[in-house]
Structure 1
Amino acid sequence: MKLEHVAIWTTDLERLKAYYTTYFLGVPNQKYTNPNTLFQSYFLTFGSGARLELMSKPEIPVNNNDTIDRQHLGIIHLAFGVPTKADVDQMALKLQTAGFKILRGPRITGDGYYEFETLDPDNNRIEVTTLA
């Protein structure tokens, strides 16, 4: 069995699509729009075969997951794996240079990963990781 996809609500579908295609190399499908419900979505496919659905619809509440201490029950982050520690460092620098806050790391975790944590444009927590 495989995880088919994970979905994220957003108020700015194009901005979030640009983030995941630019920094994580997701390949989007054509945008789906339901004119009756105002629902719109993209599926982005990654090299591993995993997919991320980005969804937009009026009146979905905003996520305030904006600091390392502010967390919530349920899905808390997406983790993207890279081959080496140098790749982790390079990605952290790339995102930080683009103006994205690095919440923690790069660091070696207690369970043997080398990773950093950041937030996407909608404050969804992202980890970039490799085995140390």
Structure 2
Amino acid sequence: MIVRRLNELPDDRVVSGETWISRRLLLRDEGMGFSLHDTLIKAGTRTEMHYANHLESVYCIEGEGTVTVVGSGEVIKIEPGTVYALDQHDKHLLEARTQLRMVCVFNPPLAGPEVHDATGAYPLID
């Protein structure tokens, strides 16, 4: 059994970018077939992402914002209790009106140190 507490995560499991902080609870080496993250998106920010190498599901537990599907222009309101799944490697724009707290699941699982590249994707790490 794996037991992990958010307030006890080692520094190497806390990864951040300009608009976000990802606390990585489960990673590839745990062997679960997915990775699990508790992510904060800073209030007033816009983050363009395109997970070309991963599928992601996102569950909002705090805050308000929107996610826009770049290809279609569809805008989805994000609030606590909203889940969205990027099942088509959708290029998207996440806008945080207030700080968002999201629970994110990635498949394939992240190894740990990944940050967004110039295209908004996480690289695959061997």
Compute the TM-score of the two structures, normalised by the length of structure 1. Answer: 0.24
Bigger strand fraction: 2
Greater fraction of residues in helix: 1
Structure number with the bigger relative contact order (C-alpha 8 A, sep ≥ 6) is: 2
